Amino acid sequence: QKEVEQNSGPLSVPEGAIASLNCTYSDRVSQSFFWYRQYSGKSPELIMSIYSNGDKEDGRFTAQLNKASQYVSLLIRDSQPSDSATYLCAVRGSNYKLTFGKGTLLTVNP
Amino acid sequence: NAGVTQTPKFQVLKTGQSMTLQCAQDMNHNSMYWYRQDPGMGLRLIYYSASEGTTDKGEVPNGYNVSRLNKREFSLRLESAAPSQTSVYFCATGRDNLGLGSYNEQFFGPGTRLTVL
């Protein structure tokens, strides 16, 4: 059974701080890794994709991947109240299917 | 360019009734997916279609059927709705390229909120 684990939170950070979201996965052959943001009552929105070890930066977002440790993280710099949402980690194995974690609720306090 | 659209947005059914959830995409993606999302359970794959003419079961297929009508459309049918099928249903499409350097991201529609009484 392929598993993707996330801390459910809530994770609370002050405005302007760095929010760090973590995810571990069990399937060693996993190839691509994704972070989705989901606002309450809305659908998941893709914000980051990564498939190579190391860091990938896009604006205020940085995804970090460590395949040896089976660990992927998302850093949000200069957190804003509009970043308050549930963040879903998703992992793709050797086929088309994604396995999702249950999500971490992030609250950014003004 | 609408992306992924789903109809209806909301639906209330009585136990035993049937209905079809519709999904359409204009992203020219080959693969399409149906998920359900329940509190505390996360997103779970019901069925998927890797390409037109093919469908496969996901993690929770019982009580559902699907039809990949053409490349654009993928429908989900509940033949005899049960209260356990009360959920939010999301359709997604996948940008497929299993080659090296490929991400194969999935993109979600707005969802259908279904209540079965």
| Predicted pLDDT of residue B102 | 61
Q: Which two tokens stand for residue A56?
A: 């990938």
Interface check for B51 against chain A (CB to CB < 8 A): the answer is: no
What percent of chain A lies above the pLDDT cut of 90? 81
Q: Which two tokens stand for residue B33?
A: 């997916």
Report the pLDDT averaged over residues A70-76: 97
Kindly determine whether residue A98 and residue B90, on different chains, have CB atoms separated by under 8 Å. no
Size of the A and B interface in Cβ pairs below 8 Å:
51
| Predicted pLDDT of residue A1 | 66
First to last CA, chain A: 40
| Predicted pLDDT of residue A31 | 82
Interface check for B38 against chain A (CB to CB < 8 A): the answer is: no
pLDDT in tens, B5-42: 999 999 999 999 999 999 999 999 989 999 999 988 88
Which residues does A42 contact at the CB level (< 8 Å), separation at least 6? B110, B111
| Predicted pLDDT of residue A30 | 82
Per-residue confidence at B50, pLDDT binned at 50, 70, 90?
confident
φ, ψ dihedrals at B32, nearest 5°: -140, 155
| Predicted pLDDT of residue B100 | 54
Q: Which two tokens stand for residue A74?
A: 């998302």
Kindly determine whether residue A43 and residue B42, on different chains, have CB atoms separated by under 8 Å. no
Residues in chain B with CB shorter than 8 Å from the CB of A7 are none
pLDDT in tens, A94-106: 777 889 999 999 9
**pLDDT higher than threshold 90 for residue A29:** no
**pLDDT higher than threshold 60 for residue B70:** yes
Give the C-alpha separation, A57 to B44, whole Å. 29
| Predicted pLDDT of residue A72 | 97
The type of residue at B90 is: F
Does B99 or B76 have the greater pLDDT score? Answer: B76
Report the pLDDT averaged over residues A73-96: 93
Interface check for B61 against chain A (CB to CB < 8 A): the answer is: no
Report the pLDDT averaged over residues B72-99: 91
